[in-house]
A and B are shown apart, each in its own frame.
Chain A
Amino acid sequence: MKRIAAVLLICAAGAASAAEITVSAAASLSNAFREAAAAFEAAHPGDRVLLNFAASDALVAQIAKGAPVDVFASADQESMDRARPHLAPGSRRDFASNRLVVAVPFGSKLDLRTLTDLRQPAVQRLTTGNPASVPVGRYTKGALEKVALWGELEPKFVFGTNVRQSLDYIARGEVEAGLVYQTDVASQAEKVRTAMVVPTTTPITYPLAVIKNGPNPAGGRAFAEFILSPGGQSILARFGFGKP
């Protein structure tokens, strides 16, 4: 009986290891944060970073339901606002910026220079994230509403559940064009290229914060500091992110 209890205790201890840091990050941060996590682990032997990528609102929904997260990095201020009750006070900081672009399949022959060009009949399908749950969708809607094109273009849109899914649609040629982040285009550079940069109503800034009552607050703070440090910032820059 004692032996069983000892084994169970060791297993339980392993499950809640103090050296694990759980990070929920927006899908557009996939490549950059994977490398940042590797760099962090190299500099902090014994620590493990667990990454969880999805659309920012989906991550907020998980945190709100009590998911054990230490750090939350989102792609817009609105989703971070929604997570406010769960944030450790004073820990919210902007750590990167991005640009919204119109992207096309690499071999596309379409000439898209202004947003109005998206009205052409040759552009049958567009994609972006779902504005109800994905920041890039909200940026897109804002940008198109500003030039009074949202109403007309909305029927052409196929909404992805996160920005990377939209990127995949473009890479496969299932849509003629889509609105995604500049950094996403860089991640699939052989299949997708930028047609034009889109001015957004608000600057695209990415905030992060430590989650109150997370399983490893000290680890969470350490990771957040790393992202904000020159080392973390240079990794983000290499993937195309701008300064916060």
Chain B
Amino acid sequence: MDAALIALGLSLKVALWATVIDLVLGVGFGYLLARGRFPGRDVLDAVLTLPMVMPPTVLGYYLLVLIGRNGPIGHWLQQHFGINLIFTWQGAVIAAAVVAFPLVLKGARSAFEAVDVQLEQAAHVLGVSPLGVFLRVSLPLAWRGVLAGTLLAFARSMGEFGATLMVAGSIPGKTQTLSIAVYEAVQAGQDDTANLLVMITSLTCVIVLVAANRLVPNRAQGAA
């Protein structure tokens, strides 16, 4: 039971950090793609959405190649900062963040596209800077869509397995998240442990979904 709670704690930690990263990057790129008019915009959108259509193990492989000790980014990190991301919970965060990113991106882009451009124009004419317009007009009007995408990303991060296994390995207490722990238990023929872990994971997901439904009320329930 202790080991299960440790795995749960780790899953929550990894999912929380991954979601925060995705929120910042997703909102930024979502706004850029919604409002920007530049050549290659659609290509950029496709590239940023790729992790959603690629198998997680393939993503994990690419990440391993990039941030592994001998990879271009990993080598640079090792040389200049002495940081190695493989087999660490930070590596697990990166894997989960990459996999779940398109969920926030899509939610944010749709939400910003639904904001009337004229409102932003009105704010501009009234003398507010572009960042001010974003913070005072665009974001407040888009927050529901952004939040919906973010909650999906959180749930996806909680369940991440393939890419995480590749990049972070399966180290109990360090990188063995709930999904990986279930896998290991099944591999070792420990059905009781597997059942307990699955129940904990399911319960956590149900709680998150119920909270999400409360936070983001249905349109029918009240005025926007």
Contact = CB atoms under 8 A, between A and B. Distances in A.
A and B touch in their complex, CB below 8 angstroms: yes
Interface of A: 55, 57-58, 60-61, 64, 82, 125, 130, 132-133, 158-161, 169, 172-174
Interface stretch (B48-56, B94-102, B184-192): B184-192
A3 B165 CA distance: 48
A64 B187 CA distance: 12
A130 B170 contact: yes
B68 A174 contact: yes
A173 B71 CA distance: 10
Contacts of A158: 87, 169, 171
Contacts of B188: 57, 61, 130, 132-133
Interface of B: 64, 68-70, 86-87, 165, 169-171, 183-184, 186-190
Contacts of A169: 169
B184 A130 contact: yes
B69 A172 contact: yes
Given A61-B187, A61-B189, A133-B189, 4 more contacts: A125-B87, A161-B170, A172-B64, A172-B68
Contacts of A159: 169-171
B187 A58 contact: yes
A173 B69 contact: yes
A174 B184 CA distance: 21
A29 to B, nearest CB: 17
A133 B194 CA distance: 14
A193 B45 CA distance: 44
A173 B70 contact: yes
A132 B64 CA distance: 25
A109 to B, nearest CB: 15
Contacts of B69: 172-174
Nearest to B183: A161
A82 B189 CA distance: 10
A58 B183 CA distance: 10
Given A158-B169, A161-B170, A174 B86 contact: yes
B87 A132 contact: no
B133 to A, nearest CB: 46
Nearest to A58: B187
B72 to A, nearest CB: 14
Contacts of A160: 169
B125 to A, nearest CB: 56
B189 A57 contact: yes
Contacts of B64: 172
Contact of A132 (B86, B169, B184): B184
A172 B86 CA distance: 11
Report, nearest first, the 9 A-B pairs whose CB atoms are least far apart: A133-B188, A132-B188, A133-B187, A58-B187, A61-B189, A158-B169, A173-B69, A174-B86, A173-B70
